[in-house]
Amino acid sequence: MHRLSVPVADGALALVAGTAALLGTPHAARLQDETGPGRGGYALVALAAGSLALRRRAPGPALAVCGAAVAAYLASGAPFGPVLVLLAVSVGSAALHLPPRAAVAWPASVLVGATLVSLPGVDGNPLWALWMVLPWAAATAWRARRDVTRRQREEELRRSAYEERLRLAQEIHDSVGHGLAVIAMQAGVALHVLDRRPEDVRRSLVAIRDTSRASLDGLRGTLQALGLPEGADGPPLAPVPGVEQVERLVEGVRAGGLEVALRVEPDVREVPEPVGQAVYRIVQEALTNVVRHAQAGRAEVTLGLDAGELLVVVSDDGRGASSAEGQGLGLPGMHARAAALGGELSAGPSPSGGFRVAARLPLPARVP
C-alpha cells in the first residue's frame, strides 16, 4: 500500500483541520452565547491550522506559531473554540517528534507564556491548561511505548541474526571440520606407510580426494544457501545429510585407519528429516573429536530406538576426558542440536575407558 509523503500527509491534515476549525468556530461561539471572532480571529485560526503542515518536519517552530496564534486569538476576546483542538494537536506532535528534552521544553514554554500573559478566559482559569497537558501526557506515553516496542524489535532482529550466524558457523564447522580431520588422518597414514607400503599411499590419497570433494560440496551448499536470494538459480545443493549417510560417514573414517563399528536398528532409518540431520551431525562431530583428540584405536556408533526416542551413542577406547579438548563449537553444537528437538545429550569419560557421547532425541508418534 502506497503511503503519502510527510509533507503531503501533514499538509492534508492542516487543510482538513483548518476547514473544520473555521466551520466550527461560529457554532462554538453561539453555544457560549458569544459573537464570532471576526475576520482577524478567523485568520488566526487559519494560521494555527496552517502551522500543522510543519508538525513533523519542524515541530518546535510549528508549536510556537500555533501557540502564538492561539494566544492572539484569545487576547482579541474571541471565545473558546476549535482553535484549542489545533493547539492540542500541535502539542501532541511536538511531544512525539521532538528530541526528549525539547519535547518537554517547547510545550512548557508555550504553557508558561500563556499563563504569564493575562488572556481573556485564561487568566485565573486553570482548566484551559488541560488542552495542552493532556495531549502532551498522552503523546509522551505513546512515544515511550513506541520506543520500547522498537527496542524490543531491534533486539529480536539482533538475536535472530546472531542465531543465524551461529547456525551457519555450526554447519561449516561440522562439515568442513570433519573433512579436515579425516584428511589430516589420511595424510598421516600416507606418510607413515610411504616407504614401507607405497601401494597403500594411493588408497589414502583417494580418500583425501573424496573427503575434500565432499567437504567442498557441503561448504558450497552452505554458502550458496547464505548468499543466493530466494528463487535464484544456481548449481544444485548437496542433499541434506541424514541417517542414510551415516554409513558413508563411518566408511570415510575407517578409510583413515580408525576401526569403527556401526550398529543401526532397521526402524531408525525411517525418521523425520530434522531428526535424521541431527543424528548425522552428532555422529559426525563425535567421530571428528575421536580422530582429533582421542588417540583411539577403535570407535563404536550405535543408533537405536527406546520408548519413542532415538538413541545415538558414539564411544571410543581413547584417552577419555582428553577427547573433549575441542571446546569450540563442537560439544556445544551437539548439545544445541539435541535441545532444539526437545532431546538431551551427555558427553564424558566412559566407565569402561575412553569417551562416550550419548543423545536421546524424541520422535513424533506414528499413526498406525
Q: Tens digit of pLDDT for each residue in 130-177?
A: 778 888 889 999 999 999 999 999 999 888 887 777 777 776 766 666
Is there a domain that residue 298 lies in? yes
User: How many angstroms separate the CA atoms of 88 and 133, rounded?
Assistant: 9
CB 18 within 8 Å of CB 50: yes
Is there a domain that residue 63 lies in? yes
pLDDT at residue number 253: 82
User: How many angstroms separate the CA atoms of 33 and 316, rounded?
Assistant: 98
Nearest to 286, CA basis, from 252, 336, 321, 324: 324
* Segments forming the whole domain that contains residue 30: 6-124
Nearest to 90, CA basis, from 41, 146, 139: 139
Helix (H, G, I), strand (E, B) or coil at 229: coil
Which of 73, 103, 124 delimits the end of a domain?
124
pLDDT at residue number 118: 54
CA atoms within 13 A on the CB side of 61: 5
Helix (H) or strand (E) holding 75: helix 59-75
306 band by pLDDT with thresholds 50, 70 and 90: confident
- How confident is the model over 263-282, as pLDDT tens digits? 988 778 778 888 988 998 89
Q: pTM for the full model?
A: 0.52
> What is the count of structural domains for the chain?
2
Distances (CA, A) of 335 to 15, 97, 108, 278, 324: 62, 47, 57, 10, 13
Q: Which of 11-15, 170-174, 338-342 has the lowest mean pLDDT?
A: 170-174
Q: Which of 32-41, 42-51, 153-162, 232-241 has the lowest mean pLDDT?
A: 232-241
318 band by pLDDT with thresholds 50, 70 and 90: confident
pLDDT at residue number 142: 92
Is there a domain that residue 326 lies in? yes
Which of 124, 153, 172 delimits the end of a domain?
124
CATH number (domain holding residue 283): 3.30.565.10
Is there a domain that residue 217 lies in? no
Is there a domain that residue 90 lies in? yes
Longest Cα separation, the chain: 117
Give φ, ψ of 182 to 5 degrees: -65, -40
CB 131 within 8 Å of CB 113: no
Is there a domain that residue 21 lies in? yes
CA 90, 93, 98, 104 dihedral sign is: positive
Question: Strand pairing of 309-316 and 298-306?
Answer: antiparallel
Residues contacting 188, CB < 8 A, separation 6+ = none
- How confident is the model over 104-139, as pLDDT tens digits? 888 888 777 766 655 555 555 566 677 788 888 899
Nearest to 132, CA basis, from 71, 72, 87: 87
Is there a domain that residue 132 lies in? no
User: How many angstroms separate the CA atoms of 19 and 29, rounded?
Assistant: 16
344 band by pLDDT with thresholds 50, 70 and 90: very high
Is there a domain that residue 325 lies in? yes
User: How many angstroms separate the CA atoms of 99 and 93, rounded?
Assistant: 12
CB 222 within 8 Å of CB 172: yes
Helix (H) or strand (E) holding 259: strand 259-264
Cβ-based neighbour number of residue 90 at 10 Å? 31
Which of 95, 124, 153 delimits the end of a domain?
124
